[in-house]
């Protein structure tokens, strides 16, 4: 594949997809609340949600820092300069999207709004369909065999 043809995305879809789904979940929760999430203790689910949110934010910060240290664009609309396979990218090919998804789930647990779980699934599916194929074509065109080897040994999510 020609590296010129396999350009990165022109628009950073994933952050906007997740932001839109979070705002939609908030609105949907106000208009048509789903059944509440059962919990044996009133603080259990918010506490679990808070812990997941901390993990998600930490994962995103680690991933962004790793990209910046390697002088690689954080937004998927920039052309990759290096194939980053260290830090969280050692364990997941998409740690930032994983962090976004975990954070959306955490918001659902903290707020008790079940629409956040729907939002997380929809955003994950949309990211998988709209952003990831283009990113993977771009990385394969730029880094060839190195990217193929990385893709074979590193899972997409975890």
Residue pLDDT, tens place only, 21-59: 999 999 999 998 777 777 788 899 999 999 999 999 999
What tokens were used for 83?
A: 């194939």
Predicted TM-score of the model (pTM): 0.88
Look at residue 83 and give its three-state secondary structure: coil
The answer to whether 9 touches 76, Cβ cutoff 8 Å, is yes
- What are the domain boundaries of the chain? 53-158
Higher pLDDT, 63 or 40: 63
**For the ranges 2-6, 43-47, 70-74, 146-150, which has the lowest average pLDDT?**
2-6
**For the ranges 5-9, 15-19, 113-117, which has the lowest average pLDDT?**
5-9
Cα separation, 154 vs 87, in Å, equals 12
The fold for domain 53-158 equals 1.20.120
Most confident of 16-20, 40-44, 68-72, 79-83: 16-20
Residue 36: left (phi > 0), alpha (psi -120 to 50), or beta?
Answer: beta
What tokens were used for 29?
A: 């929760």
Radius of gyration for the alpha carbons in the chain, expressed in angstroms and rounded: 17
């Amino acid at each position: 594949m020609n590296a010129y043809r396999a350009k990165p995305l022109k628009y950073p879809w994933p952050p906007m997809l997740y932001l839109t789904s979070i705002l939609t979940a908030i609105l949907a929760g106000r208009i048509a609340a789903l059944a509440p999430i059962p919990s044996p203790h009133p603080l259990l689910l918010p506490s679990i949600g808070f812990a997941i949110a901390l993990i998600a934010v930490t994962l995103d910060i680690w991933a962004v820092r790793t990209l910046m240290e390697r002088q690689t664009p954080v937004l998927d609309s920039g052309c990759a300069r290096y194939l980053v396979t260290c830090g969280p990218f050692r364990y997941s090919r998409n740690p930032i999207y994983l962090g976004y998804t975990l954070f959306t789930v955490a918001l659902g647990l903290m707020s008790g709004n079940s629409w956040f779980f729907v939002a997380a699934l929809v955003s994950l599916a949309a990211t998988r369909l709209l952003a990831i194929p283009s990113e993977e074509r771009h990385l394969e065109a730029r880094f060839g065999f190195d990217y193929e080897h990385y893709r074979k040994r590193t899972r997409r999510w975890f």
